[in-house]
Amino acid sequence: MNAINMPDDFNLKSFLLDLPHLPGVYRHIDEKGEVLYVGKARDLKKRVSSYFQKNLSSPRISHMVSRVVRLEVTVTRSEAEALLLENNLIKRLKPRYNILFRDDKSYPYLMFSDHAFPRIAYYRGNTSGKGRFFGPYPNAWAVRETIQILQRVFRLRTCEDSVFANRSRPCLLYQIGRCSAPCVNLISQEDYQADVQRAIKFLEGQADDVLQDIGQRMQQASETLDFELAAVLRDQMRALSKVLQQQSMEKIGNDDVDIIAVLAMGGRVCVNLAMVRGGRHLGDKPFFPSNTHADSSLEDVLAAFIAQHYVDSAMPPVLVCSHRLTDPDLLSLLAEQTGVKARLLIKPQGVRKTWLEQAQRNAEMALTRMLGESTARVARTQALATSLDMDTDEAALDAMHVECFDISHTAGEATQASCVVYRHNDMQPSLYRRYNIAGITPGDDYAAMRQVLTRRFGRVADGDAEMPSIVLIDGGKGQVEVARQVFVELGLDTHVLVGVAKGEGRRVGLETLVFADERPAVALGIESAALMLVAQIRDEAHRFAITGMRARRAKARNVSRLEEIEGVGARRRQKLLARFGGFSGVVDASIDDLRSIDGISDELAERIYHALR
């Protein structure tokens, strides 16, 4: 790939003349150096030149071009390579004139581990490793529901390897008929593997074959007077039949299909993606793109979604869509990159038509719900801005950046501070942070607050981080005074500091806002939308702090329990934790397992075993 940048003494006409008739990617850049738009082209010269004609396709494009002061162009070996580069740049740079889809977490899969007795598990990540993977699924719920079906019908194990390797008797799942207890050899490896293969057949859409197989085996068991096995197979057959009857959507062969419905309403757009694997409808997931405009057609949105989604996600052989693609070559380009040649259907028949209609209804419901929630969130943000005499225009409300800090510990143990972020009228979990607090007197919340604020806003004072619009402190005058002192020492504006003091009897709704710049305290009132927002942010900070503190405390206590055992030093403790996969694995280990560790004698193994009971 070769980059072609505009020279400082830019001459548009000569720059366009010098562009090659080759595939590549171009970037429109404004005077601040911000990338406004990223696009790909089969012919860079023709495509880039089209932006500088007299009659442009839309007012939005005209507005963008009027802000362009610089162009960057990268030549690629093929248009397919340009597509990959374009989407990587869009995800990284998030240009304001590109239609953007949230770069969500990877989709979940159902995994069969690569063991003699395979484990079934929820999985996210690279699927090129050992084991067998099914999916992707649209959400975690769909994976966990499928795991429950496989447990109920085929009785496959879900336990961690450290637990499986150290069981001496069957667990509760065996007692309730959800596992065949391979951990204690209540089923042979051959029979367990046969159940695994039947489960795989079921996931591949061959449920009828599995039912027939179970029926034949049940008949054979009856004929040989093995009534116990016949009863187990009868129960398995009933469970599978019930599962198939409960399937909410029809099956159609062994299809792998994605159904994509695009809908606009109330100034927002929803792309609803439904997944069918092995003929089973696994559910759907709504996406709400940003940077859509009045002149963005639904065909443009669909093309943007397919390009951004399938560049690094598995694409099935059939896409059923509600609209045509504006780029007829898009699927061919994706096929070059992914190796999957997909077929596009926009007028499906039969059950595929039913699936598309359902996806469109779900898109409408998701959009209606999102618009309602969005309106309520904006109203709360506006109420808070009004209460604090801040700007209330739409852009200012969207940009309002609130950070809330809380301290959590148990009698001074495992002190931790949390910082949660509210922005764009919603909580932003990806921006949350936890801070371990050390070097203070246990239980000194003021010192803990001083430490976390110094660490966080020292970066602001150094110019390495942005200052929030509001800094909420979960506490009254004392905590706010500590925050004020930190801000004064750092040379920062104390106007942004707002404390949330608990009301009389700590009753919810009676909180008071306390300020660091001598403004009088404000009691918003129990019906206040602003107070609802403040309480939501504060409660989220409290929840986030407590979960982090508990995890830290549990880790410290577990390690300390091993430290308290005579003869278990740092090296032996490390060997134990590594061998058994953590503290819980050490607790579950038998004396024989413990004595198998190098450096642990029979006597020490017994001491560890009894100390952890």
Cis-peptide into 59, omega within 30 deg: no
Map residue 70 onto helix, strand or coil: strand
382-417 residue pLDDT tens: 989 988 888 888 778 888 999 999 887 655 566 788
SS3 for 332-382 is HHHHHHHCCCCEEECCCCHHHHHHHHHHHHHHHHHHHHHHHHHHHHHHHHH
**Amino acid, res. 347:** K
Question: By three-state DSSP, how is residue 221 classified?
Answer: helix
Q: What is the CA radius of gyration of the chain?
A: 30
Dist. CA 367–CA 266, nearest whole Å:
9
- pLDDT at 294 (0 to 100): 65
- Domain holding 597, by residue range, is 564-611
SS3 of 297-333: the string is CHHHHHHHHHHHHHCCCCCCCEEEECCCCCCCCHHHH
Among 14-28, 169-183, 198-212, 244-258, which is the least confidently predicted range?
A: 244-258
Higher pLDDT, 114 or 230: 114
Residues 541-570, mean pLDDT to the nearest whole number: 66
Q: What is the pLDDT of residue 411?
A: 54
Q: What is the CATH number of the domain that holds 45?
A: 3.40.1440.10
Mean pLDDT within 34-57: 87
Tokens encoding 221: 């068991």
Query: Does a structural domain hold residue 559?
Result: no
Confidence of residue 237 (pLDDT cuts 50, 70, 90): low
Question: Residue 98 domain-assigned?
Answer: no
Residue 251 reports pLDDT greater than 60: no
Percent of the chain with pLDDT over 90: 17
- Is residue 545 located within the same domain as residue 400? yes
- Residue 373 inside a domain? The answer is no
| End-to-end Cα, the chain, rounded Å | 63
Binned at pLDDT 50, 70 and 90, residue 356 comes out as very high
Separation between Cα atoms, residue 271 and residue 323, nearest integer Å = 11
518 and 449 assigned to the same domain: yes
At 277, is the secondary structure helix, strand, or coil? strand
How far is 194 from 199, CA to CA, in rounded Å? 9
Domain boundary among 195, 217, 246: 246
* 291 confidence band (pLDDT: 50, 70, 90): confident
* High-pLDDT (> 70) share of the chain, %: 86
CB of 276 closer than 8 Å to CB of 256? yes
Give the count of domains, the chain. Answer: 5
Higher pLDDT, 571 or 194: 194
Q: Are residues 401 and 364 part of one domain? A: no
**More confident of the two residues 477 and 573:** 477
Q: Is residue 538 located within the same domain as residue 583?
A: no
**Of 320, 348, 368, which one is at a domain's C-terminal end?**
368
Distance CA 581, CA 166 (A): 11
Asked, for residue 252, whether it belongs to a domain, the answer is no
**pLDDT exceeds 80 at position 500:** yes
Query: Which pLDDT does position 410 carry in this prediction?
Result: 58
* Domain-terminating residue out of 246, 272, 298: 246
Residues 444 and 592 in one domain: no
- The span from the CA of 53 to the CA of 47, in Å, is 11
Which of 466, 480, 468, 381 has the alpha carbon at shortest distance from 426? 381
What's the chain's average pLDDT?
Answer: 81
- What pTM value is reported for the model? 0.61
> In which band, very low, low, confident or very high, does the pLDDT at 104 lie, cut at 50, 70 and 90?
low
Banded model confidence at residue 508, pLDDT cuts 50, 70, 90 = low
- Per-residue model confidence as pLDDT tens digits over 174-224: 888 888 899 988 989 988 998 888 888 877 767 667 777 777 777 777 777
Q: What is the pLDDT of residue 145?
A: 80
Domain shared by 413 and 546, yes or no: yes
**Cα diameter, the chain:** 93
Q: How big is the CA angle at 325 (ends 92 and 71), to the nearest 5 degrees?
A: 40
Q: What is the pLDDT of residues 417-470, one digit of tens each?
A: 889 999 888 888 888 988 888 888 877 889 989 999 999 999 998 888 889 999
Confirm whether 99 is domain-assigned: no
Averaged pLDDT for residues 220-238: 71
With beta carbons less than 8 A apart as the criterion, state whether 221 and 233 touch: yes
Look at residue 37 and tell me whether its pLDDT is greater than 50.
yes
We report the CATH number of the domain holding residue 573 as 1.10.150.20
Phi and psi torsions of 580, nearest 5°: -105, 10
Per the domain annotation, does 391 fall within a domain?
no
Q: Above 90 in pLDDT, residue 579?
A: no
Q: Please check whether residues 511 and 589 belong to one and the same domain.
A: no
Q: Which tens digits make up the pLDDT trace of 134-173?
A: 877 877 877 888 888 788 888 889 888 878 888 888 888 8
- Read off the pLDDT band of 507 (50, 70, 90): low
Contact between residue 486 and residue 480 where contact means Cβ atoms under 8 Å apart: no
